[in-house]
Amino acid sequence: MSHDPTLWYERPATEWETQALPIGNGPLGAMVFGGVAAERIQFNEKTLWTGGPGHDGYDFGTWTTPRPGAVEEVRRRIDREGRVPAEDVAAVLGQPRIGFGAYQTFGDLWLEFPEPGEPGGYRRELSLREAVARVRFTAGGVTYAREYFAANPGNVIAGRFTADRGGAVSFTLRHTSPRDDKTVEAEGDRLVIRGRLADNGLVFEARVRVVVHGGTCTDEGEAIKVTGADSAVFFLSAGTDYADAYPRYRGEDPHARVAEAVDAAVALGYDALRAAHVADHRELFDRVRLDLGGKAPEIPTDRLLRGYGAGPEAGDRALEALLFDYGRYLLIACSRENDVLPANLQGVWNDSISPPWSGDYHVNINLQMNYWPAEPVNLHETTGPYDRFITSLMAPGSRTAREMFGARGWVVGNETNPFGFTGVHDWASAFWFPEAAAWTTRHLYDAYRFTGDLDQLRETAYPVIKGAAEFWLDFLHPDPRDGRLVVSPSYSPEHGDFSAGASMSQQIVREVLANALAAATTLDVDEEFRAAVRAALAGLDPGVRIGSWGQLQEWKQDWDSATDTHRHVSHLYALHPGDEIAPGTPEAEAAAVSLDARGDGGTGWSKAWKINFWARLLDGDRAHRMLSEQLRGSTLDNLWDSHPPFQIDGNFGATAGIAEMLVQSHRGEVHVLPALPAGWADGSVAGLRARGDVTVGVTWRGGSAETITLRTGRAGPITVRTSIAGRCRVHDDGAGELRPRRDGDALTWDAAAGRTYVISAREHVSPTG
């Protein structure tokens, strides 16, 4: 892998979705086009949303009038008929969605330059290691350079414009928006954009300041004009009065903090801010390094993508590693510790006032997939906004649980927004998924498995997990066919009819109950609750069945069709992201049959999920095939994932899938190179994380590990599964050579905290090892 993985192009972007390059710092995001005579910088602030409180009639998705017996009516019909069309259930349990809202663009900064003539030597690029976008070209004998970044320290977006001839930098900077709800004021070097969303009254403000060296900077109507400068920089920040506090979701006016952020950046200066930004980004990005044995040819990224699979294998391997790094870059760019909201369907980037699916938080897989790579690729800090968001759903979700379901705990449906929408709407195939709350808690418990942080488990994870489990203790239904506890009404996401005990429903509920029991036991709390959970688990339908043609059933009844190629493969939840199905078991073989039947097609995020499925089945070549399918058919020129349209979850799912191919730890052991494809014969990776607070690196050659490095954060037994277990040595940097217990391809020893252990194949043992 290059030390500075970079996306680069030979011409400016003309399309937002497919060509512009993203920068972001968590709360703020921008898309850089790289125009020559006119530069467009479209920008976002993640809390700028319509809908919610302030929109007349907003109801949080909870039924606006009581419906006593409605759920029982549907249950009785399911018990009687076995399956009920989704439209019939929506007619009884759904309601029109009011005031849900949509994520909004903040508009565009336009920088209009004097026409420079025909440019030569044009290059537009995005450095993933520095998180800096750059444009460079020559025109009229002058070389112009521009660069942009979004700094988390200080919460600003910055840009700099230079030329190799003095006085050659001139431009006019203005703001445009598709909404007519703002005022724009220019005064000297300042531009202030301020308004109130007509839909809900949310107050927003953005500020820009321009600093020039040489030349002049003046206001001109609603614009700033720079003339004859040697160089110029701008600093931008933005905010709203949104707060994640139920039920009003309003906080302080953004004016003071936005003005302070911009003024502080000016006082600090561009060079110091850039240095702080790069250091902040690299502290996260440099933790992991992947080399798949490839070197990218000197061709632009869009051409590298179009030639994937048809040119030299080294270029293909380099593109695959670049996609992995891009997922890490994007997660850092759209989810940071100081964020109020997590990454949405488009991360933080959106150029529309009516984006696809509102740019919302779909919780029937998409939000969860956004954070699949966070722990494995050593980006735990990016999960803070996710944890905060899920916690914030408990207050409105408990009202929905009580008023709609008659249950304790909390619940959320198929999708949600920043304003506590935890109920239902009336789109029949996507309105009902109360299992979502339980699924969202999975990441919180898994984070504890990675870090071992008891404070995080006690203070953040357990209350959320317990509440989701309590809901199901109250809402499970005895199946009259066999007496087992089932979810009813139950709906396999966006597919088929309503029934009782669809496989995904049962698998998710089993998991949340098991996690709640494990967490309460670890913390030694709530014995009465633990007893209730044990009883529910004992009576719960397992949700994992092998059907008549060898498939894993999607429903409790054997309704699966061998010709069904639906994009959701929800009934394999217990394989991934769950960990109930182990490779080599009959259930794993049935999962493979289901995957074969569904095929290698689907949307971008669906292909990404299939990478993970096949990795969990230890089939590296099939996982690699799905990665190839995603690159060939569901990746845009700027390497964004395409549903279509653009949806960022596929980027994150692919990065997570590549990590799963290299290291797995969900079954209580560190499995190294569990699904290495033949195409990745030689390579290395460093910095991946395994459950148990272990950091893993490995180099391999000819498809076999040469050296495995493990850094242990905590003391305790550790088991490492590797194909070189029978022909290796283990070296402890503090105690010398170890003699681990060997069991087939597994090595076990008692690890000490803070140690580095090196496993070396005997033919590659160093003189000291």
Q: What is the pLDDT of residues 712-765, one digit of tens each?
A: 999 999 999 999 999 999 999 988 999 999 999 999 999 999 999 999 998 654
Helical H runs in 349-502?
A: 366-370, 384-392, 394-400, 436-451, 454-456, 462-475
- Enumerate residues 6+ apart whose C-beta is below 8 A from 247: 53, 60, 395, 396, 420
CA dist 595 and 571 (Å) reads 10
- Phi first, then psi, for residue 276 (nearest 5°) are -65, -40
Q: What is the mean pLDDT of residues 43-64?
A: 97
pLDDT cut 70: percent of the chain above it: 99
Return the pLDDT at 3.
65
Most distant CA atoms of the chain, gap in Å:
84
- Enumerate residues 6+ apart whose C-beta is below 8 A from 446: 375, 691
Give pLDDT tens digits for 150-175: 999 999 999 999 999 999 999 999 99
Return the pLDDT at 2.
44
Within 10 A of 688 (CB to CB), how many other CB atoms are there? 25
CA dist 406 and 332 (Å) reads 40
- Phi first, then psi, for residue 109 (nearest 5°) are -90, 130
Give pLDDT tens digits for 14-28: 999 999 999 999 999
Return the pLDDT at 769.
36
Across the chain, mean pLDDT equals 96
CA dist 616 and 653 (Å) reads 14
Q: Cβ(115)–Cβ(37) under 8 Å?
A: yes
Q: Cβ(343)–Cβ(337) under 8 Å?
A: no
- Higher-confidence residue: 767 or 697? 697
- The amino acid sitting at 27 is P
Give pLDDT tens digits for 670-683: 999 999 999 999 99
From the number of C-beta atoms within 10 Å of its C-beta (0-12, 13-18, 19+), residue 158 rates as: buried
- Band (pLDDT 50/70/90 cuts) for residue 295 is confident
Taking the alpha carbons at both ends of the chain, their separation in whole angstroms is 27
Return the pLDDT at 4.
87
pLDDT at 286 over 50: yes
Return the pLDDT at 246.
98
Q: What is the mean pLDDT of residues 392-397?
A: 98
pLDDT at 768 over 80: no
Give pLDDT tens digits for 322-362: 999 999 999 999 999 999 999 999 999 999 999 999 999 99
Q: Omega into 66 within 30° of 0, i.e. cis? A: no
Residue with tokens 């970079």: 6
Within 10 A of 659 (CB to CB), how many other CB atoms are there? 26
- The amino acid sitting at 310 is A
Give pLDDT tens digits for 559-573: 999 998 888 899 999
Q: DSSP 3-state assignment of 523?
A: helix
- Band (pLDDT 50/70/90 cuts) for residue 616 is very high
Return the pLDDT at 735.
86
Q: Cβ(366)–Cβ(647) under 8 Å?
A: yes
Return the pLDDT at 766.
46
Give pLDDT tens digits for 207-253: 999 999 999 999 999 999 999 999 999 999 999 999 999 999 999 99
Return the pLDDT at 767.
40
Give the residue among 179, 41, 189 at the shortest CA–CA distance from 111. Answer: 41
Return the pLDDT at 602.
87
Burial track 276-292 (b if 16+ CB lie within 10 A, e otherwise): ebbebbeebbebbbbbb
Give the residue among 485, 431, 591 at the shortest CA–CA distance from 88. Answer: 431
Give pLDDT tens digits for 636-672: 999 999 999 999 999 999 999 999 999 999 999 999 9
pLDDT at 56 over 60: yes
Return the pLDDT at 312.
81
State both tokens at 747: 């090595």
CA dist 460 and 475 (Å) reads 24
Q: Omega into 247 within 30° of 0, i.e. cis? A: yes
- Band (pLDDT 50/70/90 cuts) for residue 523 is very high
pLDDT at 192 over 70: yes
pLDDT at 707 over 60: yes
Return the pLDDT at 413.
96
* DSSP one-letter string for 585-639: SHHHHHHHHHHHHH-S-S-HHHHHHHHHHHHHTT-HHHHHHHHHHHHHHSB-TTS
Q: What is the mean pLDDT of residues 529-547?
A: 98
